[in-house]
Amino acid sequence: MKFNLDFDVIVVGGGHAGTEAALASARCGAKTLLLTQNIETLGQMSCNPAVGGIGKGHLVKEIDALGGIMAQAIDLAGIQFRTLNASKGPAVRATRAQADRSLYKKAVRSVLENQANLSLFQQTVADLIVEGDKVVGVKTQMGLDFMARAVVLTTGTFLGGKIHIGLENYSGGRAGDPASIALADRLRELPFRIDRLKTGTPPRIDGRTINFDKLAVQHGDDPIPVFSFLGKREQHPKQIPCHITRTNPKTHDIIRAGLDRSPLYSGVIEGIGPRYCPSIEDKIVRFADRDTHQIFVEPEGLDTHEIYPNGISTSLPFDVQYDFVRSMEGFENAEIVRPGYAIEYDFFDPRDLKMSLETKHMNGLFFAGQINGTTGYEEAAAQGLIAGLNAARLVQGQESWCPKRNEAYMGVMIDDLITRGTQEPYRMFTSRAEYRLLLREDNADLRLTEKGRELGLVNDTRWTAFENKREAIANLQDGLKRLWIRAESPEAELAEQFWGKPLLKEASLMELLRRPEVDVQRLLHFYEGDDVISEQVGEQVEIQAKYAGYIVRQQTDIDKTLRYDHLRLPDSLDYNGVPGLSNEVSQKLKAQRPETLGQASRIPGMTPAAISLLLVYLKKKS
Ligand code: FAD
370 pLDDT band, cuts 50/70/90, is very high
Q: Is the pLDDT of residue 401 over 90?
A: yes
| Calpha distance 484→503 (Å, rounded) | 12
Average pLDDT over residues 391-411: 97
Q: Is the pLDDT of residue 246 over 60?
A: yes
| Calpha distance 83→92 (Å, rounded) | 10
Task: Could you list the residues known to form a binding site for NAD(+), using ranges.
Answer: 273-287
Q: Which atom of ligand 1 is nearest to the CA of 156?
A: 53
Residue predicted with more confidence, 559 or 303: 303
Residues in the chain: 622
Asked whether 59 lines ligand 1 (CB < 6 A), one says: no
Query: Per residue in 211-239, pLDDT tens?
Result: 999 999 999 999 999 999 999 999 999 99
| Calpha distance 281→274 (Å, rounded) | 13
Q: Taking the model in full, what pTM does it have?
A: 0.94
Backbone angles phi, psi at 429, to 5 degrees: -135, 155
Closest C-alpha among 33, 188, 65 to residue 441: 65
530 pLDDT band, cuts 50/70/90, is low
Closest C-alpha among 434, 379, 446, 410 to residue 51: 379
User: What pLDDT score was predicted for residue 561?
Assistant: 78
Q: What percent of the chain has pLDDT over 70?
A: 99
Average pLDDT over residues 77-91: 94
Dihedral sign for Cα atoms in the order 343, 345, 350, 354 = negative
The residue type at 203: P
Asked whether 47 lines ligand 1 (CB < 6 A), one says: yes
| Calpha distance 309→277 (Å, rounded) | 13
Backbone angles phi, psi at 34, to 5 degrees: -105, 110
H/E segment holding residue 372: none
User: What pLDDT score was predicted for residue 560?
Assistant: 81
Average pLDDT over residues 77-101: 95
Asked whether 383 lines ligand 1 (CB < 6 A), one says: no
**Could you give the angle at the alpha carbon of 393 between the alpha carbons of 390 and 394, nearest 5°?**
85
Q: Is the pLDDT of residue 408 over 80?
A: yes
4 pLDDT band, cuts 50/70/90, is low
Nearest CA to ligand 1 atom 2: 15
Nearest CA to ligand 1 atom 42: 376
Query: Per residue in 409-430, pLDDT tens?
Result: 999 999 999 999 998 999 999 9
User: What pLDDT score was predicted for residue 533?
Assistant: 84
* Contact (Cβ atoms closer than 8 angstroms) between residue 56 and residue 94: yes
Residue 46 CA to ligand 1 centre (angstroms): 6
Backbone angles phi, psi at 81, to 5 degrees: -120, 140
Q: Is the pLDDT of residue 463 over 70?
A: yes
| Calpha distance 554→514 (Å, rounded) | 18
Q: Is the pLDDT of residue 39 over 60?
A: yes
Give, rounded to a whole angstrom, the gap between the first and last alpha carbons of the chain: 51
> b/e map of 100-123 (b: 16 or more CB within 10 Å)?
bbbbbbebbbebbeebebbbbeeb
Asked whether 16 lines ligand 1 (CB < 6 A), one says: yes
User: What pLDDT score was predicted for residue 274?
Assistant: 80
**Pairing of the two strands 145-153 and 365-367:** parallel
Nearest CA to ligand 1 atom 28: 277
Q: Is the pLDDT of residue 508 over 90?
A: yes
Asked whether 156 lines ligand 1 (CB < 6 A), one says: yes
Residue 15 CA to ligand 1 centre (angstroms): 6
Residue 370 CA to ligand 1 centre (angstroms): 7
Q: Which atom of ligand 1 is nearest to the CA of 16?
A: 51
Q: Is the pLDDT of residue 3 over 80?
A: no
Average pLDDT over residues 152-179: 95
Residue 162 CA to ligand 1 centre (angstroms): 13
Q: What is the DSSP letter of 596?
A: B
Asked whether 14 lines ligand 1 (CB < 6 A), one says: yes
Q: Is the pLDDT of residue 562 over 90?
A: no
User: What pLDDT score was predicted for residue 6?
Assistant: 87
* Sheet bearing 242-246, strands edge to edge: 216-218, 242-246, 294-299, 306-310, 204-206, 336-338
- Probe ligand 1: pick from 12, 59, 69, 155, max atoms within 8 Å of CB? 155
* Contact (Cβ atoms closer than 8 angstroms) between residue 88 and residue 57: no
Q: What percent of the chain has pLDDT over 90?
A: 80
| Calpha distance 397→246 (Å, rounded) | 56
* Sheet bearing 162-165, strands edge to edge: 168-171, 162-165, 341-348, 194-201
Task: Could you list the residues known to form a binding site, using ranges.
Answer: 13-18, 125, 180, 273-287, 370
Asked whether 17 lines ligand 1 (CB < 6 A), one says: yes
Asked whether 161 lines ligand 1 (CB < 6 A), one says: no
Q: Is the pLDDT of residue 557 over 90?
A: no
Nearest CA to ligand 1 atom 15: 155
Q: Which atom of ligand 1 is nearest to the CA of 13?
A: 7
